[in-house]
Amino acid sequence: MAGANTPPSPAGEGLGVGSVALAGCLPTDPTPTPPLKGRGYSPRGKLKPNVRLAPLVWFKTGGTAQWLFEPADAADLSEFLAQLDPAVPVMALGLGSNLIIRDGGFPGVVVRLGKAFAKVSADGLTLDCGAGASGILVSSTARDASIAGMEFLRSIPGTVGGFVRMNGGAYGGEVKDILVDCDVVLRSGAHVTLSLEDLQYSYRHSELPEGAIVTAARFRGRPGEPATIQAEMDRIAASREASQPLRSKTGGSTFKNPDGQKAWQLVDAAGCRGLTIGGAQVSEKHTNFLINTGDATSADIEALGEEVRRRVLAHSGVELQWEIQRVGQK
């Protein structure tokens, strides 16, 4: 998941967990200087200008980030956001799944949480997880600590920050079933802890404040046997391998499942299996996946998704909502 810690934009701009709203978009500057408030202030983490984002996302498409910031730790992130001009858009980037970076790039700061945010530890039936930890790491740590109920995270191709933001889920489980609370740095730089109730989860959606970045989360499971937990993780992994185009350049599940229906069945019934636009294709293996066949642009992928939505609406009367986030400038 994906990707990302960014909030959705209004429906109609594009996406179900939607396109990220870019308040105060900035023009592309070949040699940008970060608009920081404090003279002489320098973050402890890495801050780089004009970074290509395509290598960092699963689709392997998209433009550049005006700046890419990799904070040293949560305190560094908090201070950086406090110093950054409030008009500058900010987006968090995890593993780059469930995300389209548009070809015009992101006119602001992309925050990438590195190794300092990828640690997971167990205390009884509770896991303390950094926002950069992968679903596989979380589920494996839970197994080793005899904690059941987190096996489904094995199937989510993203990081804790992303699936906390969007209530990620699969194979009968959702983050709302296991979340205790999460640590968040607000766009202002303030550091707060939000409870499960604060996030007001619904299907693939939370009320996490715009511009906020999750830095850690606590998950609670139930007692289990490691062998039983591993068997369920193996079952999930085998099911994904058999049914999804995991070896392709893809973004994961493209559309949310409408109430009582499966998105892939609606896409298939509308005759979209194998449909192509440019280098983008609806997967032959799983029709709720779009793939980059080799030379697709982000515009190809997004246009293909919109064409699928149009055909499904015409065929079944159902308006599919994007699950993949689309961010940046076209």
Token readout for 216 is 């850690």
- Rg (alpha carbons) of the chain, rounded to whole number: 19
Which among 253, 283, 302, 326 is annotated as catalytic? Answer: 253
Question: For residue 305, which of 293, 295, 291 has the smallest C-alpha distance?
Answer: 291
Which residues, other chains included, contact 257 with Cβ-Cβ below 8 Å and sequence gap of 6+? Answer: 263
Contact 62, 328 (CB under 8 A): yes
Pairing of strands 173-174, 289-292: unpaired
Q: Which of 112, 139, 323, 326 is catalytic?
A: 323
- Please pick, among 204, 309, 311, 326, the residue that the annotation labels catalytic: 204
Chain-centroid distance, C-alpha 222:
26
- Do residues 298 and 102 touch, judged by C-beta distance below 8 A? yes
Three-class SS of residue 112? strand
Core vs surface per residue 291-325: b (16+ CB within 10 A) or e: bbeeebbbbbbbebbebbbebbeeebebebbbbbb
The whole-angstrom separation of Cα 134 and Cα 157 is 7
**Residue 60: which region, alpha, beta or left (left: phi > 0; alpha: psi -120 to 50)?**
left
253 counts as catalytic: yes
**Exposed (0-12), middle (13-18) or buried (19+): which is 16, by Cβ within 10 Å?**
buried
235 is catalytic: no
Helix (H) and strand (E) counts for the chain?
A: 7, 19
Pairing of strands 173-174, 169-170: antiparallel
Instruction: Please give the span between the terminal C-alpha atoms of the chain, in angstroms, as a whole number.
Output: 22
Instruction: Mark whether 323 is an active-site residue.
Output: yes
Cα–Cα distance for residue pair 209/186, rounded to 1 Å: 7
Catalytic residues: 204, 253, 323
